């Protein structure tokens, strides 16, 4: 039989097949294959959840479902912008189902995920209910659950919404389905500032089944029906794949499957050579000192030796030092009118000493990695690790497009560092720790393959040296230029955190402004303790993305102060939040170091005990 995709290019596949309005939905497949399916208290219209018997096994089915044309007839339906995207309520329900599956006979139980979504719900409703945290905890659960798991991408797999239930033992994708870091329209808008450049976006995203199989994101490809609307042929193809998956997975012990999940997660984004040799090559630099204590590149500095305009403080009696530099609170380079801050002139030295926070009104600028190192680490104690690790060392040459190289070239000079994650060993009030710090001034602190690999190596180093891990999240999201490889770094960092916790080591997560995208929906949400600076934006999809998608945004409700307040309500609703605890503490930058030391002291005095090292244990001193 002729392949229905042979004469179509990727844009035609996307428009005519992947997003065909009458493409079969998850409920159609369930109805065709599982006649005894029993729903488990669905929370909304986008989640299909239940159990059935299949091949003499108990099967828990979790499905995402886009709306059909007939579902969008009324004005109310059209206003439901999150139709087809799972909410925090839905994710809570899935965690409940996974918990139930754990209690079933592991040799007779399977979990099946059917994926077809633009992404996770980004409405204010879900954002205020820790949507990003739910995604992180779901990925964590799928990585560790002692049950055999299968996933199938039916149509569209979008962002963390798909990833939350896709990290399984056997991963399938329909031949004409697409799985990407972001919908192509969003990708084109962000990267090219032109939503019509879908073809260019798809070229970068590499979302097809064949491409993803080569990258190790999926295992096998389900043949597409000749007629995209043919429910029976699609269901028959999926049934055949399910039978094969259950047969193959039943032969492997669950402990081995869990180990394979971990190994797979570690290798995401390593399309070039990797292994012990690469881990040994730790590029340890000299301690980072106050020499890099400088303002971020976007702040406008006012020098009174060349000031020609009448300033806002005209008429004040106090004298200014003629050669002294000041900043106008809220002023940004290239921005004529101030939008934030009090507008007062602050001596640059006072501003830097206060970690880029106005001492008058408390308005804060984004703090780069050097600033956070100065803020948190004892002076001269930070030794950087893996400094020279680059994209070229990890990704195959053909995976780095011209667009990406141009983007990286534009980052030169904006930061002292070479990537968006800085890792190293340090001391915090004399406690030895491993630190991983986002560098917002390099590619917006975005998560890419180097970010994920450096995080993994930092965790390995913490385990090797038996040290606590401190992370500082300040990120704008995934590195879209790297396509699906960037998205999979969420899995890689979560697996790393799991490994750290298996060794009983403390993990403290600090959230800076902004903490968004894949970073907050992965490692940053999994700290034993989560501390946030005042006013930090903590959300999966940023306000600009929300507004462009038609969602209403009230930023103060997704800032750390408000989320900390509602975190207090979690303990009254643990059945909903499961292991999520939100934000435990709000702490100003100048007090963050002491706050972290407080928790390190608690670990020392209570539950944390260092294990004895087999070799050279006497050569190193540990405070714990």
209-218, 262-271, 358-367: segment of lowest average pLDDT: 358-367
Residue-wise pLDDT for 523-543, tens only, equals 999 999 999 999 999 999 888
Give the residues across from 113 on adjacent strands. 62, 151
Kindly tell me if the per-residue pLDDT of 74 is higher than 60. Answer: yes
Residue whose structure tokens are 């709000």? 586
Contact 440, 455 (CB under 8 A): no
Which of the four pLDDT bands, split at 50, 70 and 90, describes residue 44? Answer: confident
The mean per-residue pLDDT over the stretch 104-127 comes to 95
HEC assignment per residue over 533-555:
CCCCEEECCCHHHHHHCCCCCCH
What pLDDT shows up at residue 194? 86
The mean per-residue pLDDT over the stretch 165-174 comes to 97
Distances, alpha carbon 586 to alpha carbons 256, 377, 563, in Å: 41, 19, 10
Kindly tell me if the per-residue pLDDT of 279 is higher than 90. Answer: no
**Could you check whether 10-70+83-226 and 367-541+586-606 share the same CATH topology?**
yes
Contact 423, 437 (CB under 8 A): yes
Kindly tell me if the per-residue pLDDT of 302 is higher than 70. Answer: no
Domain boundaries, the chain: 10-70+83-226, 297-309+316-353, 367-541+586-606
Kindly tell me if the per-residue pLDDT of 267 is higher than 80. Answer: yes
What pLDDT shows up at residue 273? 54
Give the helix/strand (H/E) hosting 495.
helix 489-502
Q: Tell me the two tokens of residue 379.
A: 């002076």
What pLDDT shows up at residue 326? 84
The mean per-residue pLDDT over the stretch 92-100 comes to 96
Please report the sign of the dihedral spanned by the C-alpha atoms of residue 598, residue 128, residue 501, residue 449. Answer: negative
What pLDDT shows up at residue 354? 79
The mean per-residue pLDDT over the stretch 462-466 comes to 95
Which of the four pLDDT bands, split at 50, 70 and 90, describes residue 614? Answer: low
Distances, alpha carbon 93 to alpha carbons 63, 150, 152, 157, 249, in Å: 12, 18, 20, 20, 26
The larger pLDDT score, comparing residue 297 to residue 168, is at 168
Residue-wise pLDDT for 467-479, tens only, equals 999 999 999 889 9
Percent of the chain clearing pLDDT 70 (strictly above): 88
What pLDDT shows up at residue 606? 83
Kindly tell me if the per-residue pLDDT of 301 is higher than 70. Answer: no
Percent of the chain clearing pLDDT 90 (strictly above): 66
The larger pLDDT score, comparing residue 520 to residue 272, is at 520
Residue-wise pLDDT for 306-342, tens only, equals 333 333 333 333 444 445 788 888 887 767 777 788 8
pTM of the model: 0.88
pLDDT, the chain, mean: 87
What pLDDT shows up at residue 245? 97
What pLDDT shows up at residue 337? 78
Kindly tell me if the per-residue pLDDT of 175 is higher than 60. Answer: yes
What pLDDT shows up at residue 320? 43
What pLDDT shows up at residue 521? 96
CATH of 367-541+586-606, one of 2.60.260.40, 3.40.30.10, 3.40.50.300, 3.90.226.10: 3.90.226.10
The CATH class of 10-70+83-226 is alpha beta
């Amino acid at each position: 039989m002729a392949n229905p995709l042979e004469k179509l290019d990727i844009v035609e596949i996307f428009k005519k097949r992947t997003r065909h309005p009458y493409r079969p939905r998850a409920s159609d497949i369930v109805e065709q294959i599982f006649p005894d399916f029993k729903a488990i208290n669905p929370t909304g219209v986008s989640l299909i959840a239940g159990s059935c018997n299949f091949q003499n096994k108990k099967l828990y089915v979790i499905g995402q479902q886009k709306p059909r044309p007939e579902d969008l007839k009324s004005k109310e339906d059209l206003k439901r912008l999150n139709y087809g995207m799972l909410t925090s309520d839905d994710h809570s329900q899935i965690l409940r189902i996974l918990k139930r599956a754990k209690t079933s006979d592991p040799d007779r139980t399977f979990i099946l995920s059917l994926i077809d979504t633009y992404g996770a719900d980004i409405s204010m409703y879900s954002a205020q209910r820790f949507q990003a945290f739910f995604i992180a905890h779901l990925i964590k659960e799928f990585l560790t659950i002692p049950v055999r798991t299968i996933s199938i991408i039916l149509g569209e797999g979008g962002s963390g919404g798909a990833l939350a239930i896709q990290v399984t033992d056997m991963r399938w994708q329909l031949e004409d389905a697409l799985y990407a870091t972001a919908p192509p329209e969003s990708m084109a808008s962000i990267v090219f500032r032109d939503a019509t450049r879908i073809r260019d976006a798809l070229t970068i995203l590499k979302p097809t089944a064949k491409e993803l199989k080569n990258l190790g994101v999926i295992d096998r490809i389900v043949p597409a029906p000749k007629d995209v609307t043919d429910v029976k042929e699609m269901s028959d193809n999926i049934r055949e794949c399910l039978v094969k998956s259950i047969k193959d997975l039943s032969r492997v012990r669950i402990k081995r499957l869990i180990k394979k999940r971990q190994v797979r997660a570690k290798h995401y984004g390593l399309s070039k050579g990797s292994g012990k040799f690469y881990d040994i090559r730790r590029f340890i630099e000299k301690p980072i000192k106050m020499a890099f204590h400088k303002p971020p590149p976007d702040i406008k500095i006012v020098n009174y030796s060349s000031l020609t305009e009448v300033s806002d403080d005209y008429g004040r009696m106090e004298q200014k030092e003629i050669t002294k530099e000041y900043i106008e609170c809220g002023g940004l380079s290239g921005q004529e009118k101030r939008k934030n801050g009090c507008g007062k002139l602050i001596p640059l030295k006072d501003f830097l000493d206060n970690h880029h926070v106005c001492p008058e009104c408390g308005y804060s600028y984004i703090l780069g990695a050097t600033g956070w190192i100065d803020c948190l680490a004892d002076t001269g104690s930070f030794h950087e690790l893996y400094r020279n690790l680059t994209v070229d060392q990890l990704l195959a040459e053909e995976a780095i497009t011209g667009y990406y190289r141009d983007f990286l070239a534009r980052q030169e000079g904006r930061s002292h560092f070479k990537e968006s994650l800085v890792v190293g060993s340090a001391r915090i009030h004399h406690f030895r720790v491993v630190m991983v710090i986002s560098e917002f001034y390099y590619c917006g602190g975005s998560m890419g393959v180097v970010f994920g690999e450096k995080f993994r190596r930092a965790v390995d180093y913490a385990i090797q040296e038996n040290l606590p891990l401190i992370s500082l999240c300040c990120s704008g999201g995934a590195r879209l230029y790297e396509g699906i490889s960037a998205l999979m770094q969420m899995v890689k960092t979560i697996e790393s955190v799991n490994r750290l916790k298996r060794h009983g080591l403390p993990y403290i997560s600090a959230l800076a402004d902004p903490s968004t995208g894949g970073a907050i929906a992965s490692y940053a949400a999994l700290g034993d303790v989560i501390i946030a600076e005042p006013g930090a934006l903590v959300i999966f999809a940023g306000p600009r993305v929300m507004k462009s998608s038609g969602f209403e945004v009230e930023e103060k409700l997704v800032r750390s102060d408000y989320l900390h307040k509602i975190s207090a309500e979690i303990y009254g609703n643990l059945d909903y939040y499961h292991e999520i605890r939100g934000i435990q503490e709000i702490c100003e930058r100048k007090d963050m170091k002491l706050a972290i030391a407080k928790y390190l002291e608690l670990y020392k005095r209570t539950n944390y005990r260092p294990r004895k090292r087999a070799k050279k244990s006497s050569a190193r001193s540990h405070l714990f």
